[in-house]
């Protein structure tokens, strides 16, 4: 008897997770299509002359034990200790260390410290932003006092209802802190005013914060004598593939292929035939294949354009007008002697006015094995833009020149001497939580759910700002529903309502 054919669009975390879970059941013929020339999606690792780029940065951490164990079966965690724990939010999570050593010494996960800071007014501030003595000293006590009063006001008189991201920030940090540390950076990232972005983005991406605890922390900060002890509580840890996030998905890809899954790269889907609320065929690279189930991680906008005759005019218009934010990483390799200061960070959030760069990654601190020469620093300057705008359209040489100039402007490097460089453009990196279409997204969701054998999973597949672990959980949920023939797509859409360990300022 011929096995049902499952087609998966996208070989990133969601697509590969779904493929593996379905392959374990041995019930299906599985095909993965991806337009890129390598697997991993935006979690891929780019190798440039022996120096590796992690696009956007991927901390491997999840509160889901299933996800943590899933990662560990492909890349075992190495530690110098017999028992290892990850620290997060004052809690600990025990790691399952393998009893046997990894066969391949490179195919392992490292335990890494998470240190990120905000760069503002030539000073580094803790990220997430903390109301403590160190922050007060850098801002000045009078300004800190005003911030505290503003914060108290937001606690006593919160904005209700909370409609925009601006409302979300003000309610949690006060109006003055919002203006100082949130407004300009967030608007640089999204290219939209905070008052025009849905509060849903804050609920998904910024860790839930107890205002009473924050106020206690603020007051307590003025009496903390040991700065070292205070900083220790801020450090989180995460696991990380030795050679970058793409290493995980390259290993998984090889595993699913060994189980009979076919992966076709450089294969862009150009047509999806839907009849009577059932996907029937998929076309790519002038080839067509039948499918019994379709799992899609491609941007919803592209999905609808590939199946444009299958939807109501209203919903098609909503889908094709969804907004996205695009992303550029400029890799800059410099000699350590060219630095003006030691960089201990994974990320540096740039709040300095007058520069285009939004964030800087220090790849050495994600994993020392991402960098070929230990005497060099491998930096990733991140620019947030929109496809077709001035930044996106700038020639590579001009972007590199701009990056070096801004590194000097914010006093990170001494001179313009650069050993190597590369420009990486990522379209549709972030689904937009703004615009008229996003406000009507529920209508789109309802119509998509009527297509019985179509499952949307992952970040762009669901137009939801997922971390990779949440994308994996959506994939697992879809695979489980197919295997058990118990279809309830609302359960997939409910994933990623836990915001307890997202980044916060």
Indicate whether 50 belongs to any domain: no
- Identify whether residues 386 and 416 lie together within a single domain: yes
Instruction: With CA atoms as reference, report the closest residue to 67 among 114, 99, 20.
Output: 20
Indicate whether 212 belongs to any domain: yes
CA 286, 30, 74 angle in degrees (round to 5)? 120
In this prediction, residue 224 carries a pLDDT of: 45
- Identify whether residues 303 and 441 lie together within a single domain: yes
Indicate whether 148 belongs to any domain: yes
DSSP annotation of 162: -
- Identify whether residues 424 and 333 lie together within a single domain: yes
In this prediction, residue 477 carries a pLDDT of: 97
Residues near 80 by beta carbon (within 8 Å), at least 6 away in sequence: none
Indicate whether 81 belongs to any domain: no
In this prediction, residue 203 carries a pLDDT of: 63
Highest mean pLDDT among 56-60, 210-214, 458-462: 458-462
**Could you tell me if 469 and 12 are in contact, meaning their C-beta atoms sit under 8 angstroms apart?**
no
The yes-or-no verdict on residue 444 having pLDDT over 50 is yes
- Identify whether residues 363 and 331 lie together within a single domain: yes
Indicate whether 55 belongs to any domain: no
- Identify whether residues 368 and 404 lie together within a single domain: yes
Beta bridge partners of 8: 32, 295
Instruction: With CA atoms as reference, report the closest residue to 449 among 251, 315, 260, 314.
Output: 315
In this prediction, residue 104 carries a pLDDT of: 78
Indicate whether 47 belongs to any domain: no
**Could you tell me if 504 and 483 are in contact, meaning their C-beta atoms sit under 8 angstroms apart?**
no
Cis peptide before 128, with omega less than 30 degrees from 0? yes
Indicate whether 117 belongs to any domain: no
- Identify whether residues 257 and 399 lie together within a single domain: no
- Identify whether residues 397 and 440 lie together within a single domain: no
CATH number at residue 392: 3.90.660.20
Phi, psi of 116 (to 5 degrees): -130, 150
- Identify whether residues 143 and 211 lie together within a single domain: yes
- Identify whether residues 414 and 355 lie together within a single domain: yes
The pLDDT tens digits for 302-344 are 999 999 999 999 999 999 999 999 999 999 999 999 999 999 9
In this prediction, residue 102 carries a pLDDT of: 64
The yes-or-no verdict on residue 96 having pLDDT over 80 is no
In this prediction, residue 99 carries a pLDDT of: 58
The pLDDT tens digits for 272-290 are 999 999 999 999 999 999 9
Three-state secondary structure call for residue 268? coil
Percent of the chain with pLDDT over 90: 67
The yes-or-no verdict on residue 498 having pLDDT over 60 is no
**Could you tell me if 415 and 421 are in contact, meaning their C-beta atoms sit under 8 angstroms apart?**
no
Give the CB-side neighbour count of residue 355, counting CA atoms within 13 A.
26
- Identify whether residues 262 and 349 lie together within a single domain: no
- Identify whether residues 251 and 349 lie together within a single domain: no
Which tokens belong to 346? 């994974």
**Could you tell me if 87 and 236 are in contact, meaning their C-beta atoms sit under 8 angstroms apart?**
yes
Which tokens belong to 238? 């995460």
Q: Which of 409, 431, 453 is the last residue of a domain?
A: 431
Phi, psi of 425 (to 5 degrees): -105, 135
By residue range, what is the domain housing residue 214? 129-232
**pLDDT averaged over every residue in the chain:** 88
Q: Which of 431, 447, 478 is the last residue of a domain?
A: 431
CATH number at residue 16: 3.50.50.60
Residues 174-191, mean pLDDT to the nearest whole number: 86
Alpha-carbon distance of 119 to 352, in angstroms, equals 7
Give residue 110's pLDDT band: very low, low, confident or very high (50, 70, 90).
Answer: very high
Q: Determine the number of helices (DSSP H) and then strands (DSSP E) in the chain.
A: 21, 21
Threshold 0.95, pTM exceeds:
no
* DSSP E strands, 235-316: 236-241, 262-264, 269-275, 278-284, 287-290, 293-296
In this prediction, residue 409 carries a pLDDT of: 95
The yes-or-no verdict on residue 452 having pLDDT over 50 is yes
Indicate whether 139 belongs to any domain: yes
- Identify whether residues 177 and 253 lie together within a single domain: no
In this prediction, residue 505 carries a pLDDT of: 36
Alpha-carbon distance of 294 to 5, in angstroms, equals 9
Alpha-carbon distance of 108 to 73, in angstroms, equals 10
| Domain total in the chain | 3
Q: Which of 169, 198, 232 is the last residue of a domain?
A: 232
Q: Maximum Cα–Cα distance for the chain, whole Å?
A: 77
């Amino acid at each position: 008897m011929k096995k049902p054919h499952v087609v998966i669009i996208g070989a990133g975390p969601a697509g590969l997770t779904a493929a593996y879970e379905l392959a374990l059941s041995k019930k299906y013929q599985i095909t993965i299509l991806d337009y890129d020339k390598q697997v991993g999606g935006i979690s891929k690792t780019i190798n440039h002359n022996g120096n590796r780029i992690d696009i956007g940065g991927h901390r491997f951490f999840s509160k889901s034990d299933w996800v943590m164990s899933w990662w560990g079966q492909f890349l075992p965690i190495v530690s110098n200790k017999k028992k290892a724990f990850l620290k997060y939010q004052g809690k600990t999570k025990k790691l399952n260390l393998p009893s046997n050593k990894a066969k391949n010494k490179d195919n392992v996960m490292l335990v890494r410290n998470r240190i990120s800071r905000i760069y503002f007014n030539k000073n580094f501030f803790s990220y997430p932003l903390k109301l403590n003595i160190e922050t007060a000293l850098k801002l000045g006590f009078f300004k800190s006092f005003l911030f505290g009063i503003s914060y108290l006001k937001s606690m006593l008189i919160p904005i209700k209802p909370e409609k925009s991201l601006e409302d979300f920030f003000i309610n949690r940090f006060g109006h003055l802190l919002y203006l100082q540390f949130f407004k300009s950076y967030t608007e640089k990232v999204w290219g939209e005013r905070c008052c025009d972005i849905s509060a849903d983005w804050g609920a998904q991406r910024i860790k839930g914060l107890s205002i009473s605890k924050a106020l206690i922390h603020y007051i307590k900060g003025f009496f903390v004598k040991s700065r070292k002890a205070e900083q220790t509580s801020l450090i989180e840890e995460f696991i990380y593939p030795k050679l970058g996030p793409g290493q995980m998905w390259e290993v998984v890809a090889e595993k699913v292929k060994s189980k009979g899954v076919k992966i076709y790269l450089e294969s862009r889907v150009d047509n999806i035939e839907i009849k009577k609320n059932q996907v029937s065929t998929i076309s790519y690279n002038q080839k067509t294949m039948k499918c019994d189930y379709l799992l899609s991680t491609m941007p919803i906008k592209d999905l609808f354009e590939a199946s444009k005759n299958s939807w109501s005019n209203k919903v098609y218009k909503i889908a094709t007008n969804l907004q996205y934010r695009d992303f550029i990483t400029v890799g800059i390799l410099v000699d350590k002697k060219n630095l003006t200061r030691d960089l201990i960070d994974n990320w540096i959030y740039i709040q300095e006015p007058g520069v285009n760069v939004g964030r800087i990654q220090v790849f050495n601190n994600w994993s020392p094995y991402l960098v070929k020469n230990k005497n060099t620093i491998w930096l990733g300057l991140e620019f947030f833009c929109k496809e077709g705008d001035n930044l996106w359209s700038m020639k590579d040489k001009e972007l590199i020149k701009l990056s070096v100039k801004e590194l000097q402007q914010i006093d990170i490097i001494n001179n313009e001497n650069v050993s190597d460089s590369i420009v990486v453009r990522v379209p549709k990196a972030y689904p937009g939580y703004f615009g008229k279409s996003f406000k009507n997204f529920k209508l789109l969701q309802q119509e998509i759910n009527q297509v019985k054998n179509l499952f949307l999973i992952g970040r762009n597949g669901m137009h939801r700002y997922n971390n990779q672990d949440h994308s994996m959980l959506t994939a697992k949920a879809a695979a489980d529903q197919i295997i058990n023939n118990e279809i309830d797509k609302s359960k997939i859409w409910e994933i990623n309502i836990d915001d307890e360990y997202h980044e916060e300022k």
